[in-house]
Amino acid sequence: MSEVVSMRIEGSIALITIANPPVNALSQAVRQGLWDAVTQAETNPQVQAMVILGDGRAFIAGADIKEFGKPPQQPHLPDLCTRIEASIKPVIAAMHGVSLGGGLEVALGCHYRIATATAKVGLPEVNLGLIPGAGATQRLPRLVGTEAGIDLMVSGRPVDAAKALEMGIVDEIGDADPRANGLALAHAVLDENRGPRAVSALPAPAAIDWDAKYDAVLNKGRGQISPAQVVRAVQAASELPFAQGLKREREIFLELMQSDQRQGMIHAFFGERAVATQPDLKGIEARGFDHIGVIGGGTMGAGIATAALLAGLSVTVLEMTHEASDAARGRVIGNLQGALKRGKISQAQFTKMTEEALTLSTDYAALAQVDMVIEAVFENMDVKKQVFAKLGEICKAGAVLATNTSYLDVNEIAAASGRAEDVIGLHFFSPAHVMKLLEIVVHDHTAKDVIATGFALGKRLGKVSVRAGVCDGFIGNRILAAYRAVSDHMVLDGASPFDIDRAVTDFGFPMGPFAMTDLAGLDIAWAARKRRRVAGLPEGARDATYADKLCEAGQLGQKAGKGFYTYEAGKRGGTPNPAVMDFVSQDRAEQGLTPRGFTQDEIIDRYMAAMVNEAARIVDEGIAQRPVDVDMVMLFGYGFPRYHGGPLKWADLQGLDKILARIETYAKENPQYWEPAPLLVKLVAEGRRFADLNG
């Protein structure tokens, strides 16, 4: 037998065990091993039934994603599932941990399925830009019905064992370990003479209005293709004989395998995990952090406190007055009530978090014994320096002192503490208990174990943590500033903010830059513009004043009911505010500009070129460690569509020469803004891609 699949015969039952750590992915060796084991068991006269099970923490987590993009090797997974199903002796899947994707498909190829109570099953292929490609689109709807089958595959979300039993995906929930569960079911099947039972032999799933379902799923996917293709594959299950349906599924699967969306999604899958890899922290232990102090209980501070409480930490929130402290408590409790309502925590956990783990104080002395402090006060250097000077005095030795600043110089803040090595930037995104991104900002003197502590905290809070260096805006906000600037340029030159928002949402973002500004409040960017003007704009920089005029008119965005869009109570989203184009026309006239038309493609070309150019500088300067780090920041903090993989993955897929050529063309109009990033020029000259720098 093979190294990754073993067979042991116990009485009349063959126990076939997969041992391919960490999650029993179906590599070529596993597929071959299973094929050989089933064949041997079938021909062995002693064996009357087989049980397939997984060693370690899962049954099978799916096809081996590392093999994707390489030429497929035999035996192919759909053939293996068909082979198992064709066995003349009953085959039982004994599932535990996760059975995902191809893992569930192997189980659906088996004749009977039993799961432990804690098992989870699902078909997450759409999250990789694919559809299930080893029979699930044909077998699952035969078991659970058309709509339920489509829903499971389109959502990509796993269900627990109880739900799987209710849906009919598994036959039984066993209360023992997978081996004992499998053996018990195998004996029952033999005793009752039930024999093999193929899912493919069940009647074809019922027809629905396929085109309507396809359109609905496509619309919901914001440009993502694979979920809609699930509908077409299930349509084949309904309309074609099983073998032909299987063939159709394979065709769609292989087509999607060739798509850029599949590449983008798989880049995101591995990228999400890769950003945690920090070679210089190998062997460095994080400092402990059971008790966290949060300074400032506004939206951000309350969000951070909520995230920490949800992760089981003790939290002390410091506010300046009793009223502010009460308001902060209200915000944290409100957030936790939301978690309770959605079933994320139990009533007992809620009570423990709010009554035991959370304390509020107006006295700095309350932070003397905490392990880590995260400051989330007003974004002003003088205020932050005062806070850190105070923390330097009162916090215990070894406490980590973190600032949540989103663009200020962390070196300067650190110096004010008198113990710079303990200081780090932890840049959360609002709402901090929901958004997945955490930028870990490392300054010149941050101690290594403090960086390791930042990553450990990120992991504990369930965040995607990305390391960043110190500069104005770090990774994300610096890129945001670049594409906000190019949006202003396009508006001055003739595009409307609404054209730009539409182009950007059609590209796949949940929101365009102007709708986003409405959400954040126009006053934030207004203050930044004023500061920049006082400091003096760089030579040749373009300035736009139309948004100032909106602010002067009190139209500050969603909170004012009006900004770029007009909002009506009770309605989602807004409609374009007619005043905007008047202000834009005034601004153009004052600058002597004659507007011209912009196509959606041109808008996206410029928007993305600005993003890629700035991102290339950020990598070149070492602010981001690798291109993939930039990609994950944009994916998890800024709504960049996952199926494009991130701006630099997208750039690789487009071809860097094409993007550089565009930038060079734009530079003829505005050489200051559009100066090509040296790294981009270098990569094009060397015929390389950003991916080559990911290591």
Active site residues: 105, 125
Quick one: 262 or 649, whose CB is closer to ligand 3H9?
A: 262
33 backbone dihedrals φ, ψ, rounded to 5°: -60, -45
Q: In 3D, which of 201, 61, 233, 235 has the Cα closest to residue 137?
A: 233
- Order of strands, edge to edge, in the sheet holding 98-100? 98-100, 120-122, 159-160
Compute the distance between CA of residue 646 and CA of residue 35 in angstroms, rounded to an integer: 39
Binding site for ligand 3H9 (CB under 6 A): 22-23, 25, 61-66, 77, 98, 100-102, 105, 124-125, 128, 130, 132-134, 273
Q: In 3D, which of 236, 9, 275 has the Cα closest to residue 142?
A: 236
22 upstream amide cis, omega within 30 of 0 = yes
Helix axes 226-239, 146-155, angle to 10 degrees: 160
Quick one: 252 or 313, whose CB is closer to ligand 3H9?
A: 252
Sign of CA dihedral 130, 136, 137, 138: positive
Compute the distance between CA of residue 412 and CA of residue 4 in angstroms, rounded to an integer: 54
Compute the distance between CA of residue 394 and CA of residue 364 in angstroms, rounded to an integer: 8
Instruction: Tell the smallest beta-carbon distance from residue 568 to ligand 3H9 (Å).
Output: 41
Instruction: Tell the smallest beta-carbon distance from residue 630 to ligand 3H9 (Å).
Output: 20
Compute the distance between CA of residue 664 and CA of residue 588 in angstroms, rounded to an integer: 25
Quick one: 270 or 378, whose CB is closer to ligand 3H9?
A: 270
Compute the distance between CA of residue 641 and CA of residue 331 in angstroms, rounded to an integer: 30
Instruction: Tell the smallest beta-carbon distance from residue 128 to ligand 3H9 (Å).
Output: 5
- Residues 272, 273, 274: CA angle, nearest 5 degrees: 95
Quick one: 279 or 540, whose CB is closer to ligand 3H9?
A: 279
Instruction: Tell the smallest beta-carbon distance from residue 169 to ligand 3H9 (Å).
Output: 15
Give the start-end residues of each E strand in 508-569.
Answer: 565-566
75 upstream amide cis, omega within 30 of 0 = yes
Whether residue 133 contacts residue 103, with contact meaning beta carbons closer than 8 Å, is answered with no
Quick one: 138 or 335, whose CB is closer to ligand 3H9?
A: 138
Q: In 3D, which of 389, 404, 394 has the Cα closest to residue 369?
A: 394
Quick one: 157 or 533, whose CB is closer to ligand 3H9?
A: 157
- Order of strands, edge to edge, in the sheet holding 49-54? 5-10, 13-18, 49-54, 91-95, 112-116, 172-174
Instruction: Tell the smallest beta-carbon distance from residue 38 to ligand 3H9 (Å).
Output: 18
Instruction: Tell the smallest beta-carbon distance from residue 105 to ligand 3H9 (Å).
Output: 6
Task: Give the 3-state secondary structure of residue 539.
Answer: coil
Quick one: 26 or 304, whose CB is closer to ligand 3H9?
A: 26
* Residue indicated by tokens 């139990």: 346
